[in-house]
Amino acid sequence: MTHDTDRDSLAFARETWRTVEPYHGAVYFSPEAAAQYAELGVDARTGYFASRSAALGAASADVVIATFYNFNPQLVRRAIPSAWDVATPQRFAAARLTGIDATLRRILGAEIVSSPEMVRAAELARAAAEVIVSHPQGRPLFAAHAALPWPGEPHLALWHAQTLLREFRGDGHVAALLTAGLSGIEALVTHAAAGDVDAGVLRDSRAWTAQQWGEAVQNLRERGWLDDGPHLALSEDGARRRAEIEHTTDRLAALPYLTLGPTACAELCSLVRPFSLALAKELLPWAVGRLSVGRP
């Protein structure tokens, strides 16, 4: 495989991931999921940590901090392990699945949920996900989710497949960030400096204080990742290093898509894009533009 072919292959793999990802990501903004966590007796943020880490079992706070990576550890410790005193990991996992089931049915509608297009999309996504089930090494969060049973209904099988693909990619991304020498908060700062997401959103959603954020910015400036100007921006070297991280992440995540092949990946994108758009328009509006054009 030549370097150019490698880049082209990674491009269609990344496009497939980005197109299908909102179908999974909707669970993090689902009012139905939040309602399920409330029934168990926790707020939405605790429900997020408990339901996503539930596949690991009754994990300690340190394990969740390690695998989730970029959240303020104090935020995690407010949720874990006390969540396991409220309900078992199995109940949190079931609440998550019940919540996303209700969200998909509400937003997509009964006709789409039971459509031939949904069945075919689930077949393709599952085929991609099953490629990596035998490759759990170094990917703890993925491995935990891969051990969960497959849902029977196609719309939930598609969601579970994308969950596996997402956590497989995420574990690889953490490895790339660690290799580049970035802490969790520094990874967020460079992400914000790249201009993809507002710095305040990233800082506040992960519960970092303004002081902690400022210290991370200063440290990255001293290390040459950021420009010295008044605005948060990557330096030329920082942009190069951030691009290397993204390329490494793409490369580590590519196996399921390369195995599925460009034709099947294009079919999967075509099938799922309308589903992802419908979900994004209501729950993830920042993702709509990239889905509309269908480009990585």
190-243 pLDDT, tens digit each: 999 999 889 999 999 999 999 999 999 999 999 999 999 889 999 999 999 999
What are 39-94's pLDDT values in tens digits?
Answer: 999 999 999 999 999 999 999 999 999 999 999 999 999 999 999 999 999 999 99
Give CA–CA dist 225/160, Å, rounded.
Answer: 36
Give CA–CA dist 211/209, Å, rounded.
Answer: 5
Residues in the chain, overall count: 296
What are 160-200's pLDDT values in tens digits?
Answer: 999 999 999 999 999 999 999 999 999 999 999 999 889 99
pTM of the full structure: 0.94
Cβ atoms of residues 169 and 163 within 8 Å: no
